[in-house]
Amino acid sequence: MPRALDEALLKELECPVCMEYMVPPIKFCTNGHSICSKCRWGVQCCPTCRARFSEIRNVTLENIVRSQKYPCANRQSGCLELFTIEHIAKHNAACVYGKINCPFTLNTNCTWNGVKNDLIEHLKSEHQANFFESTSSFRSSNFTAKIVNIISFFGELFVQYKRPRDGRLYSAFKLIGTNSEASKYKCEFTLRAANGIEQISKTFLVRGYSEDWETIFNSGKCFCLDEAVVSHFLVQYELNLTVTLYRV
Ligand SMILES: [Zn+2]
Ligand SMILES: [Zn+2]
Ligand SMILES: [Zn+2]
Ligand SMILES: [Zn+2]
């Protein structure tokens, strides 16, 4: 459980000019009002009391800022994650509770952009062939093209990306959610050969939506097989690959 946020303290840590959380170094006016380093250079005098600024840093306040955990800008929409001052801006820019691009931008020219709650309607109308509802398992047979599939299950949306690259076939799942929500799920990839005897089964954790696919594919935390191996598992030119999601 995240500890209760000290709303009064958070309010104090907002810059009076840009209303964002102040990032060190923090300067203050001769009466003690603070301002963020970005806004300091845009004003002649203190916006609160008109006194001039000193060049002294408020080290105590900077230490408080560094030890504080900050809520996501989309907290009202349901994102309950907390971040340090170094990570909050990066998270806000990629947060799945804000506006996101359609996951099918990976292999189509889809330009949809909106909030997660509106995405299902878009998937139903535009990407029906690769959108699986109320099933935690499906068969994924094409192995020559970049494929995106989306599963709606457990009340969540999961994106599978499968992609051949440099003689290997890669695949992984992301939850359209935060890293800690994603770590509650795992995905199992099972390849079966035509002879009905040989099979390969691999299981990985689902990744958070803010991670990028290249990083996931390079990390080894995903399904990855040589195409020579994959070819052995082709059944009439198609893969017999079953992917299944589970709760951890
Ligand atoms: Zn500011
Ligand atoms: Zn002042
Ligand atoms: Zn967030
Ligand atoms: Zn789309």
Quick: pLDDT tens for 176-213: 988 889 999 999 999 999 888 999 999 999 999 988 89
Share of the chain above pLDDT 90, in %: 53
Residue 4 confidence (pLDDT): 64
Distance (Å) from CA 69 to ligand 3 centroid: 13
Residues with CB under 5 A from ligand 2 (ion): 29, 31, 33, 46, 48-49, 51
Q: Give the residue from 26, 32, 42 showing the smallest Cα distance to 85.
A: 26
- Kindly state the average pLDDT of the residues 33-38: 87
- Residue 241, judged by CB atoms within 10 A of its CB (0-12, 13-18, 19+), counts as buried
Residue 1 pLDDT greater than 50, yes or no: no
pLDDT of 3 reads 56
pTM for this one?
0.73
**Which of the ligands is closest to the CA of residue 79?**
3
Cα–Cα distances (Å) from 236 to 81, 84, 169, in that order, read: 47, 52, 18
Pair of tokens at residue 50: 């008109």
Mean pLDDT within 23-34: 89
| 65-110 residue pLDDT tens | 999 999 998 888 888 889 999 989 888 877 888 888 999 999 999 9
Q: What is the mean pLDDT of residues 134-152?
A: 84
pLDDT at 216: 95
Distance from Cα 106 to the centre of ligand 4, integer Å: 10
